[in-house]
């Protein structure tokens, strides 16, 4: 379904039910967008069609019923009460309940073709009632809710949802949190659907639909779209072929401001107050000379706990106090927001000029030109599901592991991670340079001069080490922003964003490395620890070993041969 349709449905829902939802969440950790996302997942397939047929909101909410799945004789299917018609009829007033549940199924069959097949079986009936789908298993303890049709009223359905979400929050042990992230809200929704949450599975939990999307993933998708839809705003969110990145660099005003002063190099911000072995193992960011941070506390061994903004992302970690000096109270960490439009002046994007009529193919050895084959895939989607599918299509079309695609195959001691990353981004409509201006050209462009792209005169090929520097120094000008964690990196990529991990070698003559982070599939997933934190995102690469989906060495970017590394995202 086009995003414009989803946005219109979400806008209608928020305009229609926003006030009661706002009142119901008072004093809770939930918000209107979270409730909207759950409603979209539970009964959106119904109310988005019903609202087109009926002007009465009450009629729409009364017909938000579903779930006709019975227990299968050989196992599988529904496990909760009532597993089938006979089990419901055997319960007190079960015959009355069956009549109601059967009648609403027949009413839907009279409206929509997809309900005609289950309605043709006289044993079938509905188990989910209300916009937020209060399940018929609760008929045993709360029969009057169903028999009196209380579920028809949105307020009653909402109250049941909030009541259950509070219990789900307690199951996760999060009832004392001050706020919930979008990811955490989706985790609570998973418990709402399944009764439990398994951290190592991430969002791939709950009911799995025909497209292979799990309940948690679907709720998260709806939540992120809901964030873009404002009541009374006719805008339809991000442009086709672009994901919407969550903001990352929001900093508090608390803490003492300090300035980085090393007089020799960058200052390493670490995940814990100690130097790891190798020294790069626990580095979360390299802070440049003069960078402003805020100290939030004192750690062990002379370290301070810090918070700062870098490359469009918020970083939290530790650095040694010996390399920090007090700054004025008005000092602010400078972090440029990612650019949103193509630059037409100054230091602009550049591509290797080509002779008219020439075609650069995957089957030829790599050069400085970008691919321009017929039938190249791209990104034009407007929903997370569409964008994910398009990124998977790019991975499969590039087929980096196919021997006939000589462009990516290692040869004569050379590997081509840089070219594969460029090609992936190029097809996704994102600028990651294959060639870039040399220092003289950048100086001229900065002064407003026109510079012609000439190989070896004004432009040079970009290898992995130089791509790292480009992302660090120029990335924000072209829409890239840093990511402070692997969890955020994978989550945003799963929303259809483009992500990369890049690392620069200590010896400039040695090869650095860059990989693309790709959306998780039903088969290929990121690696998570027992707490659910990602330890290795799902990657796609050319290199000594080429693979479409994989992981490589664990935390390869933190290995001792690399001087620095980072994660980047682009909408």
Q: What is the pLDDT of residue 3?
A: 45
Q: What percent of the chain is modeled with pLDDT above 90? A: 88
Q: What is the pLDDT of residue 480?
A: 97
Phi/psi of residue 545, nearest 5 degrees: -130, 125
Q: The sheet that has 292-298: what strands, in order across it?
A: 283-287, 267-270, 313-320, 303-310, 292-298, 256-260, 324-326
Identify which of 162, 160, 165, 158 has the alpha carbon closest to the alpha carbon of residue 141. 160
Overall average pLDDT of the 377-394 stretch: 96
pLDDT in tens, 430-446: 999 999 999 999 999 99
pLDDT tops 80 at residue 534? yes
Give the integer Cα–Cα distance in Å for 201 and 27.
30
pLDDT in tens, 250-275: 777 788 999 999 999 999 999 999 99
pLDDT in tens, 129-174: 999 999 999 999 999 999 999 999 999 999 999 999 999 999 999 9
Overall average pLDDT of the 305-310 stretch: 95
Give the integer Cα–Cα distance in Å for 509 and 56.
71
Q: What is the pLDDT of residue 303?
A: 97
- Given pLDDT bands bounded at 50, 70 and 90, which one contains residue 328? confident
Structural element, H or E, at residue 549:
strand 547-550
CB 6 within 8 A of CB 225: yes
Q: What is the pLDDT of residue 340?
A: 66
Q: What percent of the chain is modeled with pLDDT above 70? A: 97
Give the integer Cα–Cα distance in Å for 97 and 88.
8
- Given pLDDT bands bounded at 50, 70 and 90, which one contains residue 1? very low
Across 245-339, the runs of DSSP E, i.e. the strands, are 256-260, 267-270, 283-287, 292-298, 303-310, 313-320, 324-326
pLDDT tops 50 at residue 194? yes
Give, as one character, the DSSP assignment of residue 336. Answer: P
Q: What is the pLDDT of residue 248?
A: 77
The domains found in the chain, sorted by start residue, are 3-67+127-228 (1.10.530), 256-326 (2.30.30.40), 384-570 (3.90.1720)
- Give 354's Cβ-side CA count (13 Å radius): 13
- Given pLDDT bands bounded at 50, 70 and 90, which one contains residue 233? low
Identify which of 328, 324, 326, 304 has the alpha carbon closest to the alpha carbon of residue 316. 304
Q: What is the pLDDT of residue 519?
A: 98
Q: Which of 48-52, 295-299, 332-336 has the lowest mean pLDDT?
A: 332-336
Overall average pLDDT of the 57-85 stretch: 95
Q: Which of 236-245, 295-304, 480-489 has the lowest mean pLDDT?
A: 236-245
Q: What is the mean pLDDT of the chain?
A: 94
Identify which of 351, 305, 377, 309 has the alpha carbon closest to the alpha carbon of residue 461. 351
Q: What is the pLDDT of residue 234?
A: 59
Q: Which of 85-94, 225-234, 277-286, 370-379 has the lowest mean pLDDT?
A: 225-234
Q: What is the pLDDT of residue 554?
A: 92
Give the integer Cα–Cα distance in Å for 57 and 31.
22
pLDDT in tens, 28-44: 999 999 999 999 999 99
Q: What is the pLDDT of residue 343?
A: 79
CA-to-CA dists, residue 71 to 76, 78, 104, 332, angstroms: 6, 4, 20, 61
Overall average pLDDT of the 213-237 stretch: 86
pLDDT tops 70 at residue 238? no
| Residues facing residue 407 across a β-bridge | none
Overall average pLDDT of the 490-496 stretch: 97
Identify which of 558, 503, 555, 557 has the alpha carbon closest to the alpha carbon of residue 529. 555
Q: What is the pLDDT of residue 2?
A: 44
Number of Cβ within 10 Å of residue 154's Cβ equals: 22
């Amino acid at each position: 379904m086009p995003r414009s349709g989803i946005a219109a449905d979400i806008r209608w829902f928020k305009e229609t039910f926003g006030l009661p939802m706002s009142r119901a969440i008072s004093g809770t950790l939930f918000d209107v967008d979270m409730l909207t996302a759950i409603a979209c997942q539970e009964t959106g397939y119904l109310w988005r069609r019903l609202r087109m047929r009926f002007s009465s909101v009450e009629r729409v909410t009364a017909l938000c019923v579903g779930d006709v799945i019975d227990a299968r004789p050989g196992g599988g299917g529904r496990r909760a009460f009532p597993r089938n018609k006979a089990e419901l009829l055997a319960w007190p007033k079960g015959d009355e309940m069956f009549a109601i549940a059967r009648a609403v199924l027949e009413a839907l069959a009279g409206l929509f073709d997809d309900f005609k097949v289950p309605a043709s079986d006289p044993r079938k009936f509905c188990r989910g009632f209300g916009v937020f789908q209060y399940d018929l298993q609760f008929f045993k303890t709360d029969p009057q809710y169903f028999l009196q049709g209380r579920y028809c009223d949105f307020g009653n359905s909402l109250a049941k949802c909030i009541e259950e979400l509070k219990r789900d929050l307690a199951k996760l042990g999060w009832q004392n949190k001050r706020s919930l992230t979008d990811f955490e809200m989706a985790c609570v929704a998973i418990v709402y659907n399944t009764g439990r949450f398994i951290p190592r599975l991430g969002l791939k939990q709950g009911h799995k639909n025909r497209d292979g999307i799990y309940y948690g993933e679907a709720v998260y998708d709806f939540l992120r779209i809901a964030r873009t839809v404002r009541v009374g705003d006719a805008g339809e969110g991000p442009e086709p072929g672009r994901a919407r990145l969550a903001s990352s660099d929001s900093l508090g005003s608390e803490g003492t401001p300090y300035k980085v002063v090393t007089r020799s190099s960058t200052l390493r911000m670490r995940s814990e107050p100690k130097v790891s072995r190798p020294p790069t193992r626990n580095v979360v960011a390299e802070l440049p000379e003069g960078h402003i941070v805020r100290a939030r506390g004192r750690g062990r061994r002379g370290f301070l706990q810090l918070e700062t903004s870098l490359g469009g992302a918020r970083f939290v970690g530790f650095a040694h106090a010996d390399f920090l000096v007090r700054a004025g109270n008005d000092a602010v960490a400078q972090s440029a927001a990612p650019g949103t439009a193509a630059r037409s002046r100054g230091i602009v994007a550049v591509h290797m000029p080509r002779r008219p009529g020439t075609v650069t193919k995957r089957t030829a050895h790599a050069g400085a030109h970008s691919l321009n084959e017929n039938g190249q895939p791209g990104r034009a989607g407007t929903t997370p599901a569409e964008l994910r599918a398009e990124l998977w299509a790019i991975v499969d079309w590039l087929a980096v592991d196919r021997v006939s695609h000589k462009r990516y195959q290692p040869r004569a001691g050379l590997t081509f991670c840089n070219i594969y990353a460029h090609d992936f981004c190029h097809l996704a409509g994102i600028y990651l340079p294959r060639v870039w201006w040399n220092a003289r050209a950048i100086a001229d462009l900065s002064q407003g001069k026109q510079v012609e792209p000439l190989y070896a005169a004004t432009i040079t090929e970009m290898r992995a080490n130089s791509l790292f520097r480009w992302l660090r120094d120029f990335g924000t000008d072209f829409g890239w922003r840093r990511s402070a964690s692997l969890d955020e990196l994978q989550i945003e990529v799963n929303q259809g964003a483009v992500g990369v991990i890049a690392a620069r070698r200590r010896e400039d003559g040695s090869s650095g490395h860059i990989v693309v982070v790709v959306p998780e599939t039903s088969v290929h997933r990121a690696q998570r620890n027992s707490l659910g934190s990602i330890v290795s995102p799902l990657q796609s690469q050319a290199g000594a070993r080429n693979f479409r989906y994989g992981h490589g060495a664990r935390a390869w970017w933190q290995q001792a041969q690399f001087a620095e590394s980072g994660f980047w995202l682009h909408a």
